[in-house]
Amino acid sequence: MEFLSNLINLGSTPTVLLMAFLVCFIGYAIGAVQVKGLSLGTAGVFLFALLFGYLCTLPGLENIPVIGKFYMAGGSDAKISSFKFISNIGLVLFVTSVGSIAGPKFFRDLKKNAKTYVPMGALIIIIGALVTTLFAMIPGIGPAYATGILSGALTSTPAFSAAKETAGELQGLVVLGQAVAYPFGVIGVVLFVQIMPRLLKVDMAKERALISDGTAAAPAGEVDPDAAADAASAAVEEKKPGKKLICLDSFGFAAFGLALVFGLLLGSIKIPLTGKGYAGSTFSLGTTGGPLIMSLILGHFGRIGRISMKTDLNSLKSFREFGLMLFLLGAGIEGGVVLVEQISQSELGAMLVVYGFLAGAVITIIPMVVGYLFARYICKLPLLNNLGSITGGMTSTPALGTLIGVAGTDDVAGSYASTYPVALVLVVFAAQLINTLV
C-alpha cells in the first residue's frame, strides 16, 4: 500500500483534474443509456457528480491509498473551491455560446414575439413563487428553506445568492433546500423537453420549419422577406469599400473572449433594491445574465467598429457542450458534498430531505405544465418555440442543451434567450420577497 502511494503521488491540481474527467467519462456513459428512447444526455454528468460528491465524504476514505486523495471533509474543503471555479467557467462558456449563436436572429424574433415571451417568463416564475410561498407557510419549514428549494427547483444561481443574502443566520437552510431540489430541477426539465415531442407524436421536420419566427415557413417557391432582407444587407455590407472586417483569429476565440469580458463586467454591476443602498439587498445579472445579454448584443451586431465579433459556429457548439459539462460537473460534486453536510447538521435529518425533494418536484413541474398550456392554447406558439421558452422561464441551461439535440436545430436558443432575462430578474425578486415577507 505504501509502495502504491509513493508510485502514484497526486498533487492537489492533478487530483481535481483526475476527479473531474473521471466524472465526465462515467457521467456521459450514464447519459448515453436510453430507456424507451429517453436519455439524460449531459445531465447524466450531473447525476453521477452528485453521487461522486457524496461518496467522497464517506468516513475512512481518506485512509485508502491514492483514492484517499478524493476525500472531502465538507463544503469548506479546498477541492470544493476548485469545483466551484470549474462550474463557473463552464457556466460562462455555455451562456456566451448560446447568446452568440442566438444573437443574429434574437432581436428580430423578440420583436415579433415579445408579447408572448415576456408573459411566459413572468407566468412561470409567478406560479413557482406562489407554490413556494404555500410551502413556506407550513409550520416548521419557513421561508429560508423554501426559497432554497425554489432556487434549486428552477436551477437559478442568482436566486440562490439572493435567498442567502436575505436569510441571515438561516443561510444553511437555503443551501440545504437548494441542494435537495436541484437534482430534480435539472432532470425534470431535461425529461420534459424529451417527453413532450414523443407524447404529441410531432413531425420534427415540420416543427423545425416553424421555429425560426413562430410562423409557418414560406411555401416552396416563395421568398421569406426577413431572410431576403438579411441576405441583401449582408451582401451590401460586403461590397462597401474599406468595410472589410478585421478577424483576429480564424476560430473567433478573441471575439469570444472579448464578449466574455464585457459580459462579466455587465454582470458585476449591482443595483440597490432597498433604502439601505449597497448595504442592503442588491440585484445584479451575475455570471449568467451578463455574458448572455452581452453575447446576444454582440452576436446581433457582429462587430465593434471594424473588428469582427463573429466566432466560428463549430467553435461555439463545442464551447456550448463543453461549458455545460463543466457546469454540471462542478455543481454536482459540490451539491453532493454540501447535501451530506447539511443533512448531518439538521435536526429533522432525512425527513427534511424528503420534504424538500417532493416540494422541489412540485415547484419544478407545476410552472412547466402551466407555462406549456399557456404557450400552446393562449399564445398559439409552435412546440419548439414553446419548449425553448419553457427552458428559459425555468432558467434551465441543461434542458436547453437537451432540447437543441432533440430539435436538431440551434434556433430553439432564440426563445430560451428571449424568456430567460425576464425569468432571471423575477426569480431573484421572488426569492427576496418570500424571505422578507413570509
For the segment 148-159, what is each residue's pLDDT rounded down to a tens digit? Answer: 899 889 987 667
Q: For the chain, what percent of residues have pLDDT higher than 90?
A: 17
Domain ranges of the chain: 2-213+241-437
pLDDT interval class at 348 (50, 70, 90): low
Average pLDDT over residues 91-104: 83
Average pLDDT in the 86-95 region? 86
Looking at per-residue pLDDT, the higher value among 350 and 292 belongs to 292
Q: What is the rounded CA–CA span in Å between residue 155 and residue 26?
A: 23
Q: What pLDDT is stored for residue 303 in this prediction?
A: 83
pLDDT at res. 375: 92
Q: Is the pLDDT of residue 126 over 90?
A: yes
Provide φ and ψ at 44, rounded to 5°: -60, -30
The predicted structure's pLDDT at residue 238: 42
Distance CA 173, CA 348 (A): 11
Is residue 50 within 8 A of residue 336, CB to CB? The reply is yes
Amino acid at 272: P
CA distances from 130 to 125, 234, 374, 396, 425 (A): 9, 47, 17, 19, 16
Work out the percent of the chain whose per-residue pLDDT is above 70: 84
Task: Tell me if residue 309 falls in helix, strand or coil.
Answer: coil
- Identify the pLDDT of residue 220: 38
- What is the rounded CA–CA span in Å between residue 256 and residue 377? 39
Q: Give whichever of 109-113, 307-311, 432-436 has the largest mean pLDDT.
A: 307-311
SS3 string of 36-70?
CCECCCCHHHHHHHHHHHHHCCCCCHHHCCCHHHH
Element (H, E) at 62: none
Give the other-Cβ count within 10 Å of 242's Cβ. Answer: 5
Task: Quote the pLDDT of residue 212.
Answer: 52
The CATH class of the 2-213+241-437 domain is mainly alpha
pLDDT value at 362 more than 90: yes
How many residues are listed for the chain in this entry?
438
Q: What is the pLDDT of residue 430?
A: 87
Q: Once rounded to an integer, what is the mean pLDDT over residues 294-316?
A: 85
Indicate the residue type of 183. Answer: P
pLDDT at 83 over 60: yes
Choose the weakest-confidence range: 82-96, 199-213, 218-232, 391-405: 218-232
Identify the band that residue 100 occupies on the pLDDT scale cut at 50, 70 and 90.
confident
Q: Is the pLDDT of residue 221 over 70?
A: no
Residue 278 clears pLDDT 80, i.e. is over it = no
Residue 387 has pLDDT above 90, yes or no: yes
Q: What is the C-alpha to C-alpha distance for residues 386 and 378, in angstroms, rounded to an integer? A: 11
The pTM of this model reads 0.70
Q: What is the mean pLDDT of the chain?
A: 80
pLDDT at 80 over 50: yes
- Is residue 303 within a helix (H) or strand (E), and if so which, with residue range? strand 303-304
- Coil, strand or helix at 10: coil
Which residue in 203, 120, 144, 49 sits closest to 418, CA to CA? 120
**Gap between the Cα atoms of 163 and 146, Å rounded:** 9
CA 113 to chain centre: 22
> Which of 245, 250, 208, 257 lies closest to 97, judged by CA?
257
2-11, 290-299, 429-438: range with highest mean pLDDT = 290-299
What's the whole-number mean pLDDT along residues 344-356? Answer: 72
Using the predicted structure, report yes or no on whether residue 284 has a pLDDT greater than 80: no
- Average pLDDT estimate for 344-364: 80
Q: 58 Cβ partners below 8 Å, 6+ apart?
A: 71
CA distance 92 to 54: 26
Whether the per-residue pLDDT at 233 is higher than 70: the answer is: no
